[in-house]
Chains A and B, each alone.
Chain A
Amino acid sequence: MTLGMNTGLTERSWQAWARPDGRKGIRDAIVVVYLVECAHHVARRIVDRMDDPRVQLIGFPGCYPNDYALAMMKALTTHPNVGGVVLLSLGCESFNREALAANAREQGRPVETIVIQQSGGTRGAMEAGIAAVERVRAAADAQAVRVPMTMSELVIGTICGGSDGTSGITGNPAVGRAFDTLYDAGAICIFEETGEMIGCEGHMAERAATPEVAQDLIASVAQAERYYRAMGYGSFAPGNAEGGLSSQEEKSAGAYAKSGSRPITGVILPAEQAPGPGLYLLDVVPAGDPKFGFPNIVDNAEIGELIACGAHINLFVTGRGSVVGSAISPVIKVAANPEMYARMEGDMDVNAGRILYGDATLDEVGAEIVDLIVAVSGGAQTKSEALGHQEFVLTYKAAGAKGPGCLPNAA
C-alpha cells in the first residue's frame, strides 16, 4: 500500500459498528428478506408498518434455486452495515432459508425466520414478522459495539448510470481523483463494470499490478463483449445517445475514468470480498454463454453486487439524472451535468457539472467527494437516504469464473 500526500485524511475517524468478522459498519440496518415473490407483499407490509428507515426490504423473486442468489444473500445479510436479519419465506420455495439463517447467525447477527404457511397466512405472518423485527432490532441494539473507524477500513464502490457526454469529463474523473485518495489511504476501491470497459482493456492491462491481473482484465472484457454481443445489446441505453454519447466504447472511456490512476490490484466477482487494500474491477459478466439474460438488468442490480462485495458507500455518477439510492449502503450521487443538476438538485449530493463551467477543478470536486464519504460514514444522510430511497434488485445469474490473477493477495 502506498501512502499518498493526503495523510491527514487517514487520521479522520468516526464511530462505527464492530462486527464479529473484524469488519466495521457505518450503518446498522435490520434487513427484512423475502425469499420468493410470494412472500414479497408480507415482507413489504412489515417494513411499511415498522416505518423505520433502518428496517429495510431486500429479496429474491424466483422459486428455483440459484447459487449466485444464495451467495449474494449470504454476503448481504452479513454485510457490516447490517445488524440483524428477518427472513420471510412462503414455505415451499427452493431458497435455502436454513443455510442463509445459519450463515448470518454464525456471523453474530440476530436472525428470525417467518414461514408464512406455518404462521397463519398473510395476517399471521405480518403480525409475527413485526414482532420478529422488533426483537431482532432490540437484540442488535443490545449487542452493538461502537468503535472508531478510519478511511483505511472503508470499502467504496463506484458506478455510473444515466451517463451522457458530460459524465466522462466531470463526474467520472472527479470520482477517479477521490479513488486515488482512498487508494492512498489504504481503502478498498471497487469499480465496475466489465461491459462498460469494452475498448479500455488495453489501457487497463497496462495498469495491472501483475501480469496475471492483466490477463484477467483482458479476458473479462473479452467475455463481456462476447456476452453482450450474443444478447444483441451493449450496455448502452437510448438516454446515453440523447446525452451525446455515440458508441459503447465512448461510454466506456468515460466510465473508465471513475477508476482513477492507481494500479489495478485485481478482479473480483459479485459477493466476493477483496483480500486487501487496493483497486479492484468487479467482473459482473458470468462465464460461458448467456444464461438467465442480461448480467445486470439495471443500475441497482450492480449496486447490490458492489454492496455484496462489502461496499459501505457507493459513488453514483449520473449525467441524465438517476434518482436511486439503495438498501444497506448509502449512495452518494455525483451530478456530472450542470443543467441536470439545476433541474434535480434535490437528488444530487455533489455538483461535478460546475467543472464544465470552469467553476471548480477535478481535484476540488474529488476532495469534496472524499469529505462527503467521511461525513456519510459518520452518519450524515445522503440525499437519497433522506428521500427514503432503498432500492434493491436481485435476479438469476450464473456464477462467474475466476482466473489465476483474480486474488493476488489472497492469504
Chain B
Amino acid sequence: MSVAAIRLTPTDNVAVCCRTVEPGEQILVDGHALTVTERVALGHKLAVVPLATGDKVIKYGMPIGSMTHDAPAGGWVHMHNMQSDYIPAHLRDAHGDHA
C-alpha cells in the first residue's frame, strides 16, 4: 500500500505527496503525525513542521528556497508562501497571482 507523502531525507522540513491529500486528513510522515490543512496534489509539498517567514525550505537535504509567509505543519508549501533564493520563477498570466 502506498503512503500519502514521503520525506526524502531526514533533515527535510517538507514532504512530497504521493497522491492528492485532502483537508482534515490525518497522515503519518516519517514519524510526524500531521493534519492536512488544505488540498495538496501529487508531487506538491507539505510542511512537516511549522515554517515561518524567512525559514529555508529543505528538500533532498538541501535548501530549495525561503518562506515568504508562514505555513503550519500539514500546510501546502509552494510559490504562494516560498520563493527561490536564486532566480525568480514565472507563471502563465492566467494564474495571475504571482509577481
Residue positions of A touching B, CB distance < 8 A: 164-166, 168-169, 198-200, 203, 225, 228-229, 233-234, 236, 238, 240-241, 243-250, 253-254, 319, 337, 339, 356-358
A225 to B16, CA, bound (A): 26
Distance between Cα atoms of A10 and B82 in the complex (Å): 46
Beta-carbon nearest neighbor of B66 in chain A: A247
Interface string of B65-99 (1 = CB under 8 A from A): 10000000000011100111111111110010000
Q: What CA separation (Å) do A236 and B41 show in the bound complex?
A: 19
B33 interface hit (Cβ, 8 Å)? no
The CA-CA distance from A247 to B86 in the complex, in Å, is 8
Q: Could you say which residues of chain B place their CB within 8 Å of the CB of A199?
A: 62-64, 86
Known: A168-B60, A238-B92. A249 touches B16 (CB 8 A): no
For the complex, give the distance between the alpha carbons of A320 and B57 in Å.
Answer: 23
Q: Given A169-B16, A247-B89, A253-B64, is A357 in contact with B79 using a C-beta cutoff of 8 Å?
A: no
Closest chain-A Cβ to B13's Cβ sits at a distance in Å of 13
Residues of B within 8 A of A243 (CB): 43-44
**Chain A hits for B64, CB < 8 A:** 199, 246-247, 249-250, 253
8 A-B contacts (beta carbon < 8 Å): A198-B86, A203-B62, A241-B91, A241-B95, A244-B16, A253-B60, A337-B43, A339-B42
Q: Are A238 and B90 in contact (CB under 8 A)?
A: yes
Residues of B within 8 A of A233 (CB): 87, 90
Q: Which residues of A contact B6 (CB under 8 A)?
A: 169
The reply to whether the CB of B8 lies closer than 8 angstroms to some CB of chain A is yes
Complex Cα–Cα for A225 and B1 (A): 41
Q: How many residues of B contact A (CB 8 A)?
A: 35
Check A198 against B87 for contact (C-beta < 8 Å).
yes
Among the listed B3, B8, B62, B79, which residue makes an inter-chain contact with A246, where contact means beta carbons less than 8 Å apart? B79
Given A169-B8, A356-B2, also A249-B44 (CB < 8 A): no
Judging by beta carbons under 8 Å apart, are A337 and B42 in contact?
A: yes
| 0/1 string, B28-46, CB within 8 A of A gives 1 | 0000000000000111110
Note all chain A residues with C-beta closer than 8 A to B59.
250, 253
Among all A-B residue pairs, the 4 with the closest Cβ atoms: A165-B43, A244-B44, A247-B84, A234-B87
Interface of A is mostly: loop
Give CA–CA (A243, B8) in the complex, Å. Answer: 17
Chain B residue numbers with a CB within 8 Å of A241 are: 78-79, 89, 91, 95
Q: Which residues of A have CB within 8 Å of B65? A: 246-247, 249-250
- Cα separation A313 to B23 with both chains bound (whole Å): 44
A299 to nearest B CB, angstroms? 18
Closest to A166 in B: B43
Residues in A whose Cβ lies below 8 Å from that of B60? 168, 253-254
A234 to B85, CA, bound (A): 12
Contacts of B45 in A (CB 8 A): 165, 244, 246
Rounded to whole angstroms, the CA-CA distance of A168 and B9 in the bound complex is 13
- Contacts A233-B90, A241-B78 hold; do A249 and B41 have CB atoms under 8 A apart? no
Assuming the contacts A246-B64, A247-B64, asked whether A358 and B77 have C-beta atoms less than 8 A apart, the reply is no
Are A225 and B43 in touch, CB under 8 angstroms? no
- In the bound assembly, the distance between CA atoms of A250 and B2 in angstroms comes to 24
Once the chains are docked, how many angstroms separate the CA of A249 from the CA of B65? 7
Q: Which residues does chain B contribute within 8 Å of A168, judged by CB atoms? A: 60
Known: A234-B84, A243-B43. 18 other contacts (CB 8 A): A164-B43, A165-B16, A166-B16, A166-B42, A203-B62, A225-B87, A228-B87, A234-B87, A241-B79, A241-B95, A244-B45, A244-B78, A246-B82, A248-B89, A249-B62, A249-B65, A357-B2, A357-B18
Cβ distance B6 to chain A, nearest Cβ, rounded Å: 7
The distance in angstroms between the C-alpha atoms of A233 and B6, with both chains bound, is: 30
In the complex, what residue of chain B is closest to A355 when comparing beta carbons? Answer: B18
Q: How far is the CA of A319 from the CA of B41 in the complex (A)?
A: 14
CB-defined contacts of A245 to chain B, threshold 8 Å = 43
Residue ID in chain B nearest A225 by CB atoms:
B86
CB contacts (< 8 Å) of A250 on chain B: these are 57, 59, 64-65
CA distance A164 to B44 in the complex (A): 8
Shortest Cβ gap from B93 to chain A (Å): 9
Q: How far is the CA of A24 from the CA of B64 in the complex (A)?
A: 42
Determine the chain B residues whose CB is within 8 A of the CB of A249 once the complex forms.
Answer: 62-65, 84-86
**Which residue of chain A is the closest to B81 with respect to CB atoms?**
A246
- Kindly list chain B residues whose C-beta atoms are within 8 Å of the C-beta of A169: 6, 8, 16
Taking CB atoms, residues of chain B closer than 8 Å to A246 are 45, 57, 64-65, 77-79, 82-84, 89
